[in-house]
Amino acid sequence: PISEQSGCTALTVLVAGGELFVANVGDCRAVLCSDGKAVQLSKDQTAADSGERARVEARGGRTTYQEDLKQWRVNGEIAVTRSIGDRRLKPALSPIPEVHKHTITDADEFLILATDGLWDVMTSEEAVQLVKTTVKVPEMAAKRLALKALIERESEDNITVLVTYFHEINGFEELKSGNENIPEPMET
């Protein structure tokens, strides 16, 4: 049945009391730009990671490297070692997220959350550098990353990107200062 085959990854972020909590199940990734550098706040939970392979095998799963895909797989089916759903692969796959905590500092500029459709074709550092050279409007930064992955890098996976800035930035004013013909944003 389809309920046995369906599954997904999940990446969630909670900001509370100056702390950033990142919970990840699968191969989505959270990358922070701090002091101009990429800091990965989540770990890609795939069979490419030796620790994840050992965990899968200890739970009765099998991991193999598929040369044609150039990728490690769990039971020859899936690259991720943690997911929500994928019941046919339990207990080898775990639904339990890894949680990381980060104290937000003045050096923290922005956070990128994205699916593996981005990370399969772009490094964390490349993504941070691209956002740094984009007008500071979250939607524009996210769209620029997604389009680069899709068009220039020819990503073949789904791509979802979210960018958020930590400090108040009026990106629209920055954008407008270069072109007086841009209209004011509409209230929604």
The pLDDT assigned to 88 comes to 92
pLDDT at 179: 46
In a domain, 185, yes or no: no
Residue 76 lies in a domain: no
Answer whether residue 27 is part of any domain. yes
Give me the pLDDT at residue 184, please: 54
Residue 144 lies in a domain: yes
DSSP codes, 77-142: TBSBSB-EE-GGGTTTSB-PPEEEEEE--TTEEEEEEE-HHHHTTS-HHHHHHHHHTS-S-HHHHH
Within-domain flag for 159: yes
What tens digit of pLDDT does each residue of 117-160 get? 999 999 999 999 999 999 899 999 999 999 999 999 999 899 99
The answer to the question of residue 92 being in a domain is: no
Residue 158 tokens read as 């789904």
Which pLDDT value is given to residue 182? 45
**pLDDT band for position 170 (50/70/90)?**
low
* Structural domain harbouring 13: 2-42+99-176
Instruction: Report yes or no on 58 lying in a domain.
Output: no
- Domain presence at residue 151: yes
What is the per-residue pLDDT across 40-71, written as a single tens digit (0 to 9) for each? 999 999 999 999 999 999 999 999 999 998 99
What confidence score (pLDDT) does residue 167 get?
81
For residue 185, is pLDDT > 80? no
Helix (H, G, I), strand (E, B) or coil at 5: helix
- The total number of structural domains in the chain stands at 1
User: How much of the chain exceeds pLDDT 70, in percent?
Assistant: 88
Tokens of 35: 């002091």
What's the whole-number mean pLDDT along residues 11-32? 96
CA distance to 44, 94, 112, 127, per residue, from 38 (Å)? 15, 28, 10, 8
CATH code, 160: 3.60.40.10
